[in-house]
Chain A
């Protein structure tokens, strides 16, 4: 009975994994194609990687995207952590419902709406106070922080809820001031969640096309904007090469992050076991 079901589930899992990974695999294989026309195989070659590395336009886009990504991730982690702390640890406060709503809405808001609304916000601000003088780096970064911080807040909230409050309560009982409890106990324990949030915010920023396209200005082409403008007219072998590099880079980052998280979980579990054995 169970065997039967698990056969069906195994089949679905296998099909699912094929569906997930074959397109990416084909993309990578065809990046090593000599032919100029992507789907026509012309033998193995790395010529499109050479074309890519010689392109100044691509390098500029990479640098711009990485800069925005790092600044965005850092600010989004700070703001998202504060927001997560407020939601999970502060009980009731004025405006909590509105605050919670604004934290969840960016996760599901269609990007075209977020992009358009941020653009008109920047234009209105410019009319009122003369800032931001021109759209580009700053406006893209602010836009990215706004949606990234919601993702960080989700991770931080999950981790805070999972951690429980026993250690904090113990510290408070022993006479520690709340601020000291926050900096010496809550934040260090929250660190892995914050690191995961930082990485997520970074990749979200590297990936964003729609919102960036709305709020960007002349000359500020991030990597997705550059890629999109090139592939709108069809397949391009140099974009296959670029895609391969990006995918392998991100996969390596995520794998390392997952390994760190996994090991930390195991260590925590072992510590808990030792602690519980000690009390017995």
Chain B
């Protein structure tokens, strides 16, 4: 074997030990740094795709509509000499304030969401309480029955109500067949249908936090109250209701916040007759392609919901710590 070949073989082995050294160094580094990696990967993802987008929406809401792609003006105006001029245009927000359509729509969205939340609570509370009071096997089955609609398609559950509420729909057919009415009652494409849709689709969001809260309740408290001569209704209002307040708040916010911005339900069941802000935003963006205005609508909606969202987060944080 020639000297040069030996030399080459030596080089190869040296290279390979080098690379294995590099790998083990990398592995060691990974092991010592893994905690940082665990935090950084989801953190960066959320910063990039959740937080940063809001700032861009805020930026666009301060721009003007332009016939171009993308259809808005730039905040930094480079057309002058040297330094860019910052152009902030509050026209969109002024427009939202002055045009009564938007004001009424925001108000109407909050009204519909609030009433729906209350109806969900009114019916969800006894249902959750009934589940907690059931035997172990029935409890699992009932819980499953509540969760199942939550997993099946939201869109299809809304569609199911189109079939029930239509003029020629199941409910009207049934009522006419029974003889209660001669003419179909108009139930679809109005505010009533929107209420039904929101209560139906968001009910599990109310029941599940309530259930989780009630499950932890100490039933001996009720027995103690009863032993001391408290009537059931008195015990309910003085003991059970205050103790389930965290569940009531969490459930109500979980229904109220998304319901305020709801788009699918007013579009399919309200059929253009019901003003809701989510639908207006979507139309501003897709039909009118007025992106700056859509962005301004979104920012105002976000500002309206910041307080309820902060409260929810506070309770969520307390729940995970407990």
Contacts and interface: CB of A to CB of B under 8 A. Distances in A.
- Classify the secondary structure of B's interface with A: helix
- Classify the secondary structure of A's interface with B: helix
Contacts of B126: 8-9, 12-13
Interface string A181-211: 0100000000000000000100100110110
A5 interface: yes
B52 A121 contact: yes
Interface in B79-129: 123, 126-127, 129
Given A12-B126, A39-B173, A251-B152, A112 B313 contact: no
Interface in B32-88: 34-35, 38-39, 41-43, 45-54, 56-57, 60, 70
Interface string B277-316: 0100110011000010011001001100100010011001
A105 B130 contact: no
Nearest to B309: A108
A27 to B, nearest CB: 4
Q: Chain B interface: which size bin? A: 35 or more
A83 B42 contact: yes
Nearest to B299: A113
B142 A13 contact: yes
B152 A100 contact: no
Contacts of B153: 206-207, 224, 243, 246-247, 250
B9 interface: no
A170 B282 CA distance: 54
Q: Chain A interface: which size bin? A: 35 or more
A273 B140 CA distance: 21
B192 interface: no
Contacts of B123: 12, 15-16, 19
B57 A116 contact: yes
Contacts of A99: 39, 42-43, 46
Given A112-B278, A246-B152, A121 B56 contact: yes
Interface stretch (B13-21, B241-249, B262-270): B262-270
Contact of B42 (A79, A121, A214, A250): A79
B156 A105 contact: no
A247 B146 CA distance: 15
B49 A79 contact: no
Contacts of B39: 82, 86, 90, 93, 99
Given A111-B258, A116-B285, 8 more contacts: A13-B130, A83-B46, A104-B313, A110-B278, A120-B70, A146-B45, A146-B50, A246-B156
15 contacts: A4-B232, A16-B127, A19-B123, A27-B159, A30-B163, A39-B169, A104-B313, A120-B53, A177-B31, A224-B153, A227-B156, A239-B159, A246-B152, A254-B147, A254-B148
